[in-house]
Amino acid sequence: MIKQSDCTIIIPHLGGSPESEYAVEQCLISLRETVPDIKVIVVKNGPECKHYGDIRINDQGQCKAVNAAAATVNTPWIFVTNDDMIYAPGWFEMLTVPLKGDELCISPILVEPRKGAPTFIEYFCGGAGGDFDKEKFYQYVRSSVTTIYIPLRTGFNLPFLIKKELWDLVGGYDINYDPWGSNSDSDLEYKIKLAGVQPYQNTNCIVYHFSQTSGTFHPDNQSYWQKNWDYFIEKWGFPRTDEGIWEANFKIPTKQEGRKFHPDWENTYGF
C-alpha cells in the first residue's frame, strides 16, 4: 500500500465566485481531516482567484496549473483533484490498498448530486450553494464500502492517482486545451493508454463531487469546447470516443486507421 508521504495532492483553483470559494474550502477541510500527512498544493488558476494558494499562474488554465504544480513535486505519486470534491475518512487507504505495483493510474468512484457520467453515482448531499450535508455523505460511504472484496475495474475520471514517472513520460496535460480545459482529461487518458498503461477505478473508494462549479460547460464558453474538440481531432486524427471513455476500455486507432499522434514513448509499459 502507498504511504501518504509517497504522494502529493494537486488542486487547481479558478475561483471568482462564492460557490467556487465555498467548494474549495470544503474540499480542503475534508483533506485536512482525512489525509493530514499528504502535502497539498493549491494552484491559483488565473487572476480572479481569491483563495490562498501555494502557486499562482497568471493565465487561466487548469492544464497549466496542474503541470506547474507537478513540476515542483518529488514524491513518487501525485493525486490530481478538482477543487469541488469531498473526501471521507479512510478514502486514501481504500483507494490504494489493492495496488500490487503494476497499476500506475487509479481513480475512485464519484458521487454527484445530479445525473452525470455513466460510471458516476447520483446521490444528493447538497452542493456548492452552501447546503452540503457532509454527515449524509459520510453515512453513504459507510453503508457502501465493502471489506469482503476489492471491486477494481477499468476506468478513468478525476480525481486520479498517477505514478509521477508516468505523468512525466507523457508530459502531463496538453496546455493547448486551456483556458477551460475541456477534452484535456480525455487527451491525458488517451496518452496514458498509448504509453501502455491501463487505468483502473476502485469503486470501494467514494468521492463526492459538487460538479459544474468551474463554468467549463456554461453556454458562454461553448466556443472553447468546440475549439478543444477540433484540436483533439487535429492532434490525434480522429474524434474522441464517447463509448468506453469513462470505462477506459476503448481501443486507440493505429496509424493505418488514421492516427496522427506517434510519440517516442508509445507502449513504454506495454500492458
pLDDT tens, residue by residue, 175-207? 999 998 999 999 999 999 999 999 999 999 999
Q: Which helix (H) or strand (E) holds 78?
A: strand 77-80
> Higher-confidence residue: 2 or 171?
171
| Res 54: pLDDT | 83
- Burial (CB count <10 Å: 0-12, 13-18, 19+), residue 176: middle
Domains in the chain with CATH codes: 4-236 (3.90.550.10)
Listing DSSP states for 191-240 in one string gives HHHHTT---EEEEEEEEEE--S-S-TTSGGGHHHHHHHHHHHHHHHSSPP
Cell 488514421 belongs to which residue?
A: 258
Give residue 212's pLDDT band: very low, low, confident or very high (50, 70, 90). Answer: low
- Give the pTM: 0.93
Looking at residue 58, its amino acid is: N
| Res 214: pLDDT | 53
| Res 71: pLDDT | 97
Q: Rounded CA gap, 46 and 48, in Å? A: 6
Q: What is the pLDDT of residues 73-122, one digit of tens each?
A: 999 999 999 999 999 999 999 999 877 777 899 999 999 999 999 999 99
Residue 6 has pLDDT above 80, yes or no: yes
Q: What is the pLDDT of residues 118-131, one digit of tens each?
A: 999 999 999 988 89
Residue 216 has pLDDT above 60, yes or no: no
